[in-house]
Structure 1
Amino acid sequence: MKNQTKPAFIHVLLIFSALFHSYSTSVSAQEVEDEKEFDYSEESGKGPNQWGNIKKEWSDCKTGKIQSPIDILSRKAKVIKNPERLEMLYKPTELIVKNRGHDISLQIHWLKSAGSIKINGTEYFLQQAHWHSPSEHAIDGRRYALEVHLVHQAKDPKVKHNLAVVGILYKYGEPDAFLSKLLGNISATNDQIHEKPLGFVDPTHIDIRMGAKAYYRYIGSLTVPPCTEGVIWSVQKQVKQVSKQQVHAIRVLVHDVSKDAY
């Protein structure tokens, strides 16, 4: 958080979590599960500027040199000739919506693998996807209505960059088909429901541009404590569309309508 912009806004998220029992360390073990330990309000004493002071193991949030998210400046981006395609090989999976009380998380469980992407010859397996509103990344100073992060992890813990995240931005426009289906299934969820199965869902229906070459690539960090660095970020250049009603519905689900004017 020290040298790169950390937006101060309320974290609105839905989470897909793939539970890979063969992994000794998972993304969920690295990210903080209980968000009551931190927030996005600078007045609370637990906001982004204080994350690095709350716990010793969160020190990267304060002293890290390559923190995410960032404002991507297209004029400074280096164009790579013949870049590798961002190939994603995902599989349908069972979806469970889980209410943690202070937000709602959607967890996906696979018996084996959820599928993967390959970066520089290393295979990274899909573990979770979650949405932020407004977007965490900005492009040329513009922050968007919504952003989804698809988080992947290499099976080999010795890989230099063990985590890879694909980010996709949304602007206001037509309703997103995947979110329409998803939100329609979980609209009845409330604080008393711990988990609710939603059947099998194919992650490719998020409508990622399969094999896309147009994306921004940089090495950054997790965007929440412990702000672990060395994460490979691939932010898709093409911006998707989402309706204002869908963004509002997400905020209602996590009990936050304070940013609806965005």
Structure 2
Amino acid sequence: MAKLAMLVLVFSLLIALVLLSSCPTMSQEVEHESEFNYDEKSMKGPQHWGDIKPEWSMCKNGTMQSPIDLLNQRVQIVSNLGTLQINYKPSNATLKNRGHDIMLELIANSSYLQINGTQYVLKQFHWHSPSEHTIDGKRFDLELHMVHQTPSGQTAVIGILYKTGRPNPFFSLLRSDLEAISEKTEEERALGVIDPRWINFGKTHYYRYIGSLTTPSCSENITWTIIQEVRSVSKEQIKLFRVAAHDESNSNARPLQPLNDRLVQLQQT
């Protein structure tokens, strides 16, 4: 009997491990374009994300949703957050058309952002056009999200805003690969070695607030860092990123969400 009980216990533990491993991280982004879109007139559009699946309910019920307008009159200017503590290193990477955006995924877990002593590993970055966040009501032409995570699933995102102007040197390096996957949903392409430092953004002036993912499941408690300095990108480069959004809205930017009295800080030295 003791042997049988031990076998039952081992079998139960194995089932539990399988179930745990199959559950997505709370802050995991949805990969498939067919599950949602950005068309305001569609039943899969932003106004209906929270109704599509029970696990997406935060998209309509959450109180700390993103993106938001970074309105200067309600921003608290601080100096205690300090310069962003970033340690980025080269890594092999892949470029993937997820239908609703283009994602560049890093293979190595060697790059990280440190906030309050916690290290968030840089996992991937992707683009939204036009920008999702606005500054004083002004919307920009492109927004890059650099997604970082801890082993326990805590997420921190750095957002970089771009306006139309001179071509972006880093984006220029990706041109041929972007063209190759631009109209092929789920197409993936190996890039070789990518150095995140090529993105080149300011680290001393930035907004900080607690929000959510801007795509389903809209999980909250995401630490957002929006770089204050706006970079430049050419019209041709914007067009390459926009072709990933296949719905009629010609956009992959979620509408602005209520601030709900959240604290928004602006780090300035």
TM-score range, shorter chain: 0.7 to 0.9
Structure 1 length-normalised TM: 0.79
Name the structure 2 match of 1:197: 190
Name the structure 1 match of 2:207: 216
Structure 1 unmatched ranges of 5 or more? 1-22
Cα distance 1:149–1:26, how it changes in 2: closer, same or farther (>3 A)? farther
Name the structure 2 match of 1:122: 118
Deviation of 1:231 after TM superposition, in Å, equals: 0.4
Cα distance 1:103–1:231, how it changes in 2: closer, same or farther (>3 A)? closer
Higher Cα Rg, which structure? 2
Name the structure 2 match of 1:59: 57
Distance 2:81 2:103 in 1: 34
1:185 maps to 2:183: no
Partner secondary structure for residue 39 of structure 1? coil
Structure 2 length-normalised TM: 0.77
Distance 1:253 1:39 in 2: 11
Distance 1:129 1:183 in 2: 16
Partner secondary structure for residue 216 of structure 1? strand
1:98 maps to 2:90: no
Name the structure 2 match of 1:169: 161
Backbone CA RMSD of aligned residues: 2.6
Name the structure 2 match of 1:230: 221
Q: Percent identity?
A: 48
8 Å CA contact 1:92–1:202 kept in 2: the answer is yes
Name the structure 1 match of 2:148: 152
Distance 1:170 1:63 in 2: 30
Cα distance 1:101–1:116, how it changes in 2: closer, same or farther (>3 A)? closer
Aligned partner letter, 2:197: T
Name the structure 1 match of 2:69: 71
User: Of 225, 228, 231, which residue of structure 2 is paired with 1:240?
Assistant: 231
Structure 2 unmatched ranges of 5 or more? 1-20, 252-269
Deviation of 1:257 after TM superposition, in Å, equals: 9.0
Distance 2:208 2:53 in 1: 30
Name the structure 2 match of 1:131: 127
1:237-262 deviation digits (Å, cap 9, x = unpaired): 000001111101222355579649xx
Cα distance 1:193–1:236, how it changes in 2: closer, same or farther (>3 A)? closer
8 Å CA contact 1:124–1:153 kept in 2: the answer is yes
Aligned partner letter, 1:73: L
